[in-house]
Amino acid sequence: MSEKTYFVRTFGCQMNEHDSERIAGLLEADGMRPADSVESADVVVLNTCCIRENADNKLYGHLGQLKALKARRPDMQIVVGGCLAQKDREGILERAPHVDVVFGTHNVGRAAELVAEQRAAGRSIVEILEETVADDHEAFPSALPARREVPYAAWVTIQIGCDNNCAFCIVPAVRGREISRPFDDVVDEVRTLAAEGVTEVTLLGQNVNSYGRDLTLARRRAGEDVRVRPLFADLLRAVGAVDGIRRVRFTSPHPKDLRPETIAAMAEVPEVCRHLHLPLQSGSDRVLAAMHRGYTAERYLERLAAARAAMPDLAVTTDIIVGFPGETDDDFERTLEVVAEAGYDSAYTFIFSPRPGTEAAERVDEFVPAEVCRERFERLRVVVERSALARHRARIGQVEEVLVEGPSRKDPSVTTGRTEHNKLVHFRTPERLRPGTYATVRVTDAAPHHLVGELVEVTAPARHRTRIPVAAV
């Protein structure tokens, strides 16, 4: 067995973090073990993202540091995978010839083989596939061996790619068209995870609400008498029914595809967490149309109202882009109005930055000046924090169940857990609680980004065994 070690560094979203778990799992299945640091690793994998700002600067900055390391240890293998690799391809080797392997988003399952092939060949390998083969079950990262970041909670990919064409987003270009993972494969994986002690699963996809539409379409084309429809609500019910699963989360749903069936499943299945992340992006219909989002602010608020009517205690979070090309003061005022009306528990707010290859990046003449964006961003932050604080204060006095994550990073004598509403709660315990434990806490204080509480009782002990972390940035 090889004594080689690996280190995976992840950039970007949960989808990428999940891919990294699979890359780590594949390398371990090939006989490697995790290294303590980049410096000591035989194989360093940078799993890249091109959605966040300055993604390429960050990647090439890291590659610059690795160049010096590789000069000292020529046997070290440097591997670049993920979205930026899919987009830049051979361009990565042109800018960083010391890279050994480049693979894309459609062949994560080949990571360990490519590392071995490169070692045998002694020359760099670039392998980028144009798209995923629909019936290749390894196309779904969840179908591969994994080294999970935490042992009590797991991501489960239900869908890859995206059929939408949001003007600011590079995902369809680098992740390809939308393909749903077979229903039974998802449920089987959740059963396996539950048997390993996992109690919380997060279903992952770019547009989870449309999960299964392609599966029913394929069955209909094959002659079956089925209605073409998404199966996401059915999936929530099936996953919630798996023995041992106490919490089901999902990300991200697209507002235009949020259906009554999904809201009903959320409301009726107690395991499905009362948290909805519903990306607004803008409150201006003009900007939403330019973004190709497929809904108006009114439609968005109607769907949100329907969800809240079914689940009065629902926590709602969102994503908002400030300064999309052509956004006027009036457009931005409309965003502030919708944000105030929606009453979010929190929001990920971003100043628009162009992603090369997207439609919005071409609209250079309409870019909003940086100082205007900064001023709008600050005004938005104030409105979001006001609503978050109000919603958090409304929880003071309530008893909530948390899933313990471990000691607080700021103060290790304090325990941190997360409620089903995805809120961090800090509380003290007479003795340390193992991560993965469920406990109830009474909320005693609130801040815009967290709650403070006191332990009431432990409701369920952690059931898993060990953990080995995968580093993320």
Provide the binding-site residues for ligand SF4, judged by CB under 6 A: 162, 164-166, 169, 171-172, 206-207, 254
Please report, for residues 5, 207, 251, 453, the alpha-carbon distance to residue 294 in angstroms, rounded to integers and kept in the order given: 47, 13, 19, 41
What single letter denotes the amino acid at residue 418? R
Which segments within 162-219 are labelled E, that is strand? 179-180, 200-204
Cβ neighbors of 213 (< 8 A, separation 6 or more) are 180, 228, 229, 230, 231
164 backbone dihedrals φ, ψ, rounded to 5°: -85, 175
Spatial separation of the C-alpha atoms in residues 235 and 216, rounded to whole Å: 13
When the beta carbons of 172 and 182 are compared against ligand SF4, the nearer one is 172
When the beta carbons of 154 and 171 are compared against ligand SF4, the nearer one is 171
CB of 12 to ligand SF4, least distance (A): 13
CB of 164 to ligand SF4, least distance (A): 4
Tokens representing 10 are 């992840």
- Tokens 């935490």 belong to 150
Spatial separation of the C-alpha atoms in residues 170 and 289, rounded to whole Å: 18
When the beta carbons of 204 and 384 are compared against ligand SF4, the nearer one is 204
When the beta carbons of 284 and 419 are compared against ligand SF4, the nearer one is 284
When the beta carbons of 46 and 167 are compared against ligand SF4, the nearer one is 167
What is the helix, strand, coil percentage profile of the chain, to 5?
Answer: 40, 20, 40
With beta carbons less than 8 A apart as the criterion, state whether 193 and 185 touch: no
CB of 252 to ligand SF4, least distance (A): 7
Sheet with 200-204, strands from edge to edge, namely 153-157, 200-204, 247-251
Q: For residue 292, how far is the Cα from the chain centroid? A: 22
When the beta carbons of 8 and 347 are compared against ligand SF4, the nearer one is 347
CB of 139 to ligand SF4, least distance (A): 17
The number of helices, as runs of H, and strands, as runs of E, in the chain is 14, 19
CB of 9 to ligand SF4, least distance (A): 23
When the beta carbons of 169 and 403 are compared against ligand SF4, the nearer one is 169
CB of 458 to ligand SF4, least distance (A): 39
CB of 171 to ligand SF4, least distance (A): 4
When the beta carbons of 46 and 162 are compared against ligand SF4, the nearer one is 162
When the beta carbons of 10 and 207 are compared against ligand SF4, the nearer one is 207
Please report, for residues 298, 386, 392, the alpha-carbon distance to residue 449 in angstroms, rounded to integers and kept in the order given: 28, 11, 8
CB of 87 to ligand SF4, least distance (A): 14
Cβ neighbors of 380 (< 8 A, separation 6 or more) are 320, 322, 335, 336, 339, 347, 349
CB of 326 to ligand SF4, least distance (A): 18
